Every structure is written in C-alpha cells, then in structure tokens.
Structure 1
C-alpha cells in the first residue's frame, strides 16, 4: 500500500462544482471558507455541557442541524483577521456541504481560554475529522470519520470516530497506548466501544500517539495539514509529518473509505480556525514523501 500511496496519480473527488483541472502539475489552492460567514458549511450540535436530562429527568433534545441558539460556532474578528470561533459549550461540529477525496488540506488553529463541562479541567480538545459519512450525530455528536486530533499537547494523534478502521505502523509505549513509528508493522485501529469490546481494549485500539510534538505554545496559531490519497493519509503539524496512515475503511463492510465530509469539532474548549484551503492532489508533494 505504501508504494501505491506514494506513486499514485489521484483525481480529486467532489460532489458538485469541481475546480477545473489545469494541464500543469501544480494545482491551485482553493478556499474552503470565505472568511466572512459560514456559507458552504453546516453545523450539528448536541446538548449544552453534554447534559442529556433536565432537573426533572426529562430528556433534552440535541440542537441538531443548523440550529445554534447559543452561538457556539460563529465568525469573529481576531488580531489577525476573521476566524471561526468554536466555543465548545455544546459538543458537535461544523462540516462541509461537499465531499472531498484525494486532496491536500491546510488550515490554521489556535486555542482560546474557555473550557466547559465535562472537560473544564482540560486538556483543550477539538479535531479535524475527514472522510465523514452518514447522518450528523450518528457517532456521538459527530459523524463517522477518521480524526486528525486537535488536542492540547496531542495535535496530530489519530482517533477513529464511529464505524471506521485504519492501519497505522505503530509500537507499544506502555500497557495501554501505541505510538506511530515509520516502517513498524501495521496495526489496525477502530472504535472498539462500537464493536462492544472491553473499555481497556477500546483505549488500546483507538488512540495512536503522534511521532513527535510539533505544537506551538498556547495562544499561537498552528499550521495543520492533511494529505489524502486513496485510502491513505498523512498528518502534518507545523510542517512536520507526525503520522502516516493506510487502508482507511468502513468497519461494517470493510469497503475503502477514501472521501467524505471535512469536519471541525466542538468538544468542550474554545478554539479558533482560519485560512482553510484545499487543493486537488495530482502527486504527493515531494517534501512529504
């Protein structure tokens, strides 16, 4: 799979209005966010503070799709231009209208100050989810997808969200967790809780720790990049490749999962995103091979 990944000439997959291909090898960067409003994106939000019942024991319905009475996700002005602010008060997501495959994505992210129950003691958490599919809210407050972790101190880690699987070269670092190591044997990771296995196995099978810590200090903008080619992907933090992943697939039928929605999480912490760009992938950029 690795040879296929690094040699492939891939076509960019998008549901509608694709960028016209040029005959040159250098494709243009295209903005996924217009910088002014949330056109081209939708939101899905669960209940505030993840409280599922009120004081009388009645079930509280999630806010759902494009209903955000608390202003959890909105465009704000920062000292470096407009950004999407996600407060984290209600867990959920903002997700692209279109589906994408075979691309190079880049964005900037930085932490705010606020933290909310049940994660008020941190670490601050969010995530860049990719290849999202299925109904919003079907996988906790998100949709089934692969995750490039955006968590304080852990940017670039991997988590499976919902009914997905992936293979990552990795080695154990203790009796619970595994860490990415290039050229190590491939190990399969999946959402063990959905497969109804033990909690201990769930932790061991889900999280993969990045190769190195490339995150900038709190309050500074971090450059996050994601490259997908077929069912393989690369996680990049501030110019450093921190993980390579292979054989992305759906857990139920083991069919390749190589395209889908792009998602930014709301997960209990204030976080800012901006400068979100994508470009059609013809070959893997030389510096990331």
Structure 2
C-alpha cells in the first residue's frame, strides 16, 4: 500500500509538471487581433481603384491614416467566426502600432469574391509584410518592408517593398524568374526601381517563386506562418516550408533589417484574415529547422 501511494504521488507530480509546461507553451502565444475591432492597428489607404483624378479631372488625394470612408477595412462574420475583411477597393494596408522582432507569427486567410480595378481580372492579391519601417504610404500605399506574398496561386512568394534587400537560395525557374530551392546558391533580391534599373529583368531582381504550391482551393481557409529570427526568415503555408530567406537588410546603407511593423495589404481583392497570433522566440522551432 505504501509503494502504491508513493507511485501515485509521483505520477500526479509528473502530470502537473507536464500540464504546467504545456500551459506555459500555450501562454507564449499573444493575440495580435482582439476579434472585435482594430485596436492595436492603424490603417493607411490610397485612392479608390488607384484613380489619380475624378470624372471632372480633379486630383484625388489618398484617404491617408485611419480614414476609411468606403469601409475598405471592416470586421465581418464568416463561416468560421469574426475576421478582418479587406475589400481591396482602395489599395493600402493595416499595420501594427508596435514593432516586432524575433517572432513566430501565424494567421488564417481566405479569399472573398470581390475583385476591383485595376486588378479586376486577377489574380486576387494581398500580402503579409514584415519589418515595416518609414512613413505610411511612403512606398506606393505601403511602407518599406519584406513581403510574404499572399496572392492567389502564389502564396509564400517573396517580394521586396522599398529600400530592402535579402538573399534567397534560388535557381532559374524559366528564362527570367527564379524559384526557391533548398541549399542552392544565395542570390540577392531588391527593389530594382530604386537603382533606376527598371529594365525587362527588373522583376527578376524582385520576385522569387516559392518552392511549391501549398495553397488550398478558393474559399477555403489557409494557415500562413512567418518565422523571423535575427535577419533570417521562413515562409510557411499550410504547415509546409516554402521558402527560407537570409541577410535581411536595407539596400541603401546595408543596415540589418530584423524588426518593424506587421502589415496586411489591401490590393484590389476581397480577402479575410483571422486568428492572428505571435510568439517571441530565441530559436527556430524544431519542426521548421
């Protein structure tokens, strides 16, 4: 009986320790969105449909910061609870009030039906931008940042936005573009127009295709994850690593770029985002090493 009591006590203690560890791990995730409003976020919106003038020839000015008369950014009730709905009618973004560094971010996203000029013929487009810096609207209707592409059929691709550069293991995909490949030679990608090299291959200096398509069919929710540690990052779509990126930096002064705003784009298409969580990290989770 005595040994039975001692054994039972050990099992209880081990169970408590295990549950405590599990609870602590769960508590490390912090919600980036409260599910009801845009507290902790700001918006910046350009003109409707990227128009420069109205029908009378009057110059249109961007809506700017936290001014959304067309309700481009709203909270919608979806088949899976509340979500941030971005109509795409005006190009722009929502961005976090604070900067983030060394984190694991996860969210859910799915496409709506709306498609608007000048992208009414698709593909549907948005984006998860990270390490955002500078004035809102300073780069087109966004800010300087690295981009995990959220575009229909291209989820997980890379684009530079503004004064940024990064190195990606990649090989030629076709006669012009490059595609991510594990352990391939590093190739630098940057916003070519900054160097006034907007030649036929300028897009090849910018866009990198993800390793493979892991996106779910239209109308289904996708799980997108981003890991940033130091000046490296990992793009993950539906649990699969589609790209690893290294040496994030500003192009103008080679300064390391490893922190900044988290941004969701409005870019001509209706898109929904929900369940945004972030966890501070000191190492890449074992699952994605």
After TM superposition, the score normalised by the length of structure 1 is 0.90
2:118 paired with 1:118: yes
1:96 paired residue number: 96
Deviation at 1:174, TM superposition (A): 1.4
Aligned with 1:112: secondary structure?
Answer: strand
Q: Which sits farther off after the overlay, 252-261 or 168-177?
A: 168-177
2:194 paired residue number: 194
Distance of 1:179 and 1:115 partners within structure 2: 27
What whole-Å deviation, never above 9, does each CA across 1:46-92 have from its counterpart, x for those lacking one? 00000011233322100000000000001111121100000000000
Aligned positions of 1:1-289 closer than 5 A: 28-289=28-289
What whole-Å deviation, never above 9, does each CA across 1:239-266 have from its counterpart, x for those lacking one? 0000000000011111000000000000
Pairs aligned (count): 266
Distance of 2:42 and 2:122 partners within structure 1: 27
| Matched-pair contact (CA < 8 Å) for 2:46–2:63 | yes
RMSD: 1.1
Deviation at 1:26, TM superposition (A): 7.6
| Matched-pair contact (CA < 8 Å) for 1:129–1:263 | yes
Deviation at 1:199, TM superposition (A): 3.2
| Matched-pair contact (CA < 8 Å) for 2:229–2:282 | no
Aligned with 2:132: secondary structure?
Answer: strand
| Matched-pair contact (CA < 8 Å) for 2:101–2:259 | yes
| Matched-pair contact (CA < 8 Å) for 1:176–1:200 | no
Higher gyration radius (CA): 2
Q: Which has the higher helix share?
A: 2
Q: Which runs of 5+ in 2 are unaligned?
A: 1-23
Distance of 2:280 and 2:71 partners within structure 1: 33
Aligned with 2:287: secondary structure?
Answer: helix
Distance of 2:278 and 2:139 partners within structure 1: 25
What whole-Å deviation, never above 9, does each CA across 1:155-205 have from its counterpart, x for those lacking one? 000000111000000001112100001111100000101221033221110
| Matched-pair contact (CA < 8 Å) for 1:27–1:280 | no
Q: Which sits farther off after the overlay, 24-33 or 59-68?
A: 24-33
1:6 paired residue number: none
> Following superposition, which runs of at least 4 residues in structure 1 exceed 4 angstroms of deviation?
24-27
What whole-Å deviation, never above 9, does each CA across 1:4-59 have from its counterpart, x for those lacking one? xxxxxxxxxxxxxxxxxxxx788610000000000000000000000011233322
Distance of 2:129 and 2:97 partners within structure 1: 14
| Matched-pair contact (CA < 8 Å) for 1:168–1:188 | yes
Distance of 2:68 and 2:194 partners within structure 1: 28
